[in-house]
Every structure is written in structure tokens, then in C-alpha cells.
Amino acid sequence: MDGSGPDSGSERAGPRDGEAASDASNGASDPIHGPVDPDINDLLAKLDALRDTVDEGHEREKVRQTISLVERMPGSAAFTTRITKYTSRDMAEAFVGAVLFSLPLLVEGGVFEIAAWLVATTVGGVPVFLLAHVAFVLVMTAGLLYFADFRQIEIRHPILGVIPRRYAGVLLVSLLTSAFMLLLWGRLHEGDPAAGERSARVLVVWAAAAFGGGLGDILPGESQGEDIGEIDLDFGD
């Protein structure tokens, strides 16, 4: 009896110890219960996944409203860093930023010199530096919006399934602002330049306007109002 007691006790303790160790090892990655120490970002991630699975429009709207409510909760880092909606107010903020950053260039004669040089410097008749300038603006704007650690920008319903709406909006608003300001202040046609040089003037100012438009859009955080990202612009469907 004495010989069998310790063995049987060890056998009884062993499974319990094994189960406890198994529970401890699985607690951090339990797919049902989630993380051991969940925070608001974990909840937002679950809600995002839920929003992608629901089919009805009113159900998606309910989930979106819940996400917005969670983001406004006190102590939520998402309140200041996460941007999910793209509204008309964002476009207005981009316009203000574009105006502020383009104004100094409108009184600088250096814009004319840079534009003339971009148009005149060609390789095989192609204004390579002008094209490089356009590529620089596109890359800079994308980096500012999606790679610089100012805000966590969510890409939803991209145009044609590829182009983010906020990216396209900032570029278009800043480009139109550049052309409008140059025309309004009489700087677009000053000196009677050729059409190519006038376009180059707009593109030179566009670099500063796009940077200002991007900052004006994302720095204030998520705007209130109706999300225009729900408008169907996927013309391929």
C-alpha cells in the first residue's frame, strides 16, 4: 500500500500539471478568447474583421458606428491616430493646407526659372526631369499619407480597386489649387510662356501644395461627416 501511494499520487498530479501548463501556453494565442491582455486596438481589429464579413448595408453601418464609438472612448489611442473615413471635410482641410504651402511660391520668381529648366531639359525630346518631378510628387504624397508615422490611415474602397481615395483626393485638390492660385494671382501667364512652361509652373507649385494638402488632411485626425468612401467608383464592375 505504501509503495503504490506515491505512484498513484504522482499520476494524479501529473495530468493536472500538464493541463495547467497547456492552458498557460495556449492562453496567449487562444483564437476564441483572443489576447491575454486585450486593448482597444484589439477590439477595433475584431470589429474591422466583422465589418468585412457582414453583407447587408445597414449591418455594415451599425458596425461602423460601433467602431466610431470605440475610437472616441477616453484613453483610446485610436482617437488621435486612426483615420478610417474620408469625408468632404477632409477635402476642405487638404485645400487649406495646399493654399498655405503654395502661397510663398506664388511670389517667388524662382518658380518661373525652375519651370523653364524642367521643360527645356530633355532627352530625345522627352522632358525627363519634369517627369521625374511628377514622380517625386506622387511618391512623396504616398509616403506622407501611408508610411510617415503621423496617422494610421485605413484604405477602404480604393478607386478601381487600386488607387486609395484619400491619395487621389489630396493629389487632385492640391493640383487644382495650384492652377487656381497661379491663375488668380496672374502668375500663370506672366511673361507669355508657352503652354508647356505654364503647365510646368503648375507642377512646380504642386509639389508644395501636395505636401501641405496631405498634412492638412491627416494632422487634424478623423473628420466628422458622411464617409464619401462608400461611393462606388469601381468602374470595372
Residue 3 counted as domain residue: no
Contact 151, 143 (CB under 8 A): no
- Of 166 and 12, more confident: 166
Q: Quick check: 226 and 89 in contact, CB under 8 A?
A: no
**Residue partners of 130: CB distance under 8 A and separation at least 6:** 118, 119, 121, 200, 203
With respect to residue 228, please indicate whether it lies within any of the assigned structural domains: no
What is the per-residue pLDDT for 235?
47
Residues 169 and 138 reside in one and the same domain = yes
Model confidence over 66-110: pLDDT tens digits?
A: 666 655 555 555 445 667 678 888 899 999 999 999 999 998 889
Whether residue 157 contacts residue 226, with contact meaning beta carbons closer than 8 Å, is answered with no
Judge if 47 and 96 occupy the same domain. Answer: no
User: What digits encode the pLDDT tens for the residues 128-177?
Assistant: 999 999 999 999 999 998 887 666 677 777 888 889 988 999 999 999 99
- Shared-domain flag, residues 165 and 205: yes
> CA distances (Å), 62 to each of 70, 78, 200, 232, in order?
12, 19, 47, 19
Q: In whole angstroms, give the CA distance from residue 186 to residue 172.
A: 21
Can you name the residues that pair with 153 across neighbouring β-strands? 83
pTM over 0.85: no
Tell me which of 46, 81, 116 is where a domain ends: 81
* Residue that finishes a domain, picked among 81, 109, 131: 81
Note the pLDDT tens digit of each residue in 17-53: 444 444 444 444 454 555 655 555 666 666 677 766 7
- Determine the structural domain holding residue 183 and report its residue range: 87-222
**130 and 192 assigned to the same domain:** yes
Per-residue model confidence (pLDDT) at position 25: 43
Residues 170 and 214 in one domain: yes
What pairing do the DSSP bridges indicate for beta strands 82-83 and 152-153?
parallel
Q: Do 61 and 143 belong to one domain?
A: no
The answer as to whether 53 is a domain residue is yes
> What one-character DSSP code corresponds to residue 230?
G
Residue 180 forms part of a structural domain: yes
Indicate if 108 and 211 belong to the same structural domain.
yes
Q: Report which of residues 59 and 168 the model is more confident about.
A: 168
Last residue of a domain, one of 65, 81, 97: 81
Question: For residue 152, what is the enclosing H or E element?
Answer: strand 152-153
- pLDDT at 121 > cutoff 70: yes
Phi and psi (nearest 5°) for 152? -95, 100
Domain count, the chain: 2
Q: Note whether 73 and 92 are same-domain residues.
A: no
Residues 180 and 139 in one domain: yes
Judge whether 2 lies within some domain.
no
Residue 219: which pLDDT band, with cuts at 50, 70 and 90? confident
Q: Are 55 and 127 part of one and the same domain?
A: no
